[in-house]
Amino acid sequence: MEQLEYLRPGNISYARIFVLFWVAVYVIVFVDVYIDWASVSFFYLGFPYVYKPDGMVLAYCAVAVFAIIMPISLKRYSDFFCWMLYFMIFVPSILIVSMQGYE
């Protein structure tokens, strides 16, 4: 069986689009859980939801830019830890601060 080829002729990396798709799914689920559950349950701890579209667009762009420069394939252990830091620390910190209304 032939291996799945991620790169096709041209300038578009389909593996990168695949990664961006799953990052977008993660961001959508994270924002939905924060709005529907965390901001309601933990409002008294300082987790309000303040809708500011400019801050959210900037946060989405920052998350997407860093997803573009992350390594696609996991060739070393450091690539795995880089993705774990991205998903567990970077994305939540950027999104939570932008959803709290800070500028």
Write down the pTM of the prediction. Answer: 0.81
pLDDT per position as a tens digit, 54-86: 999 999 999 999 998 888 888 889 899 999 999
Residue predicted with more confidence, 14 or 39? 39
- How do the domains of the chain map onto residue ranges? 14-99
Residue 23: other Cβ atoms inside 10 A: 19
13 in Cβ contact with 6 (< 8 Å) = yes
- Say whether pLDDT at 12 is over 70: no
Residue burial 39-70, b: 16+ Cβ < 10 Å; e: rest:
beeeeeeeeebeeeeebeeebbeebeeebeee
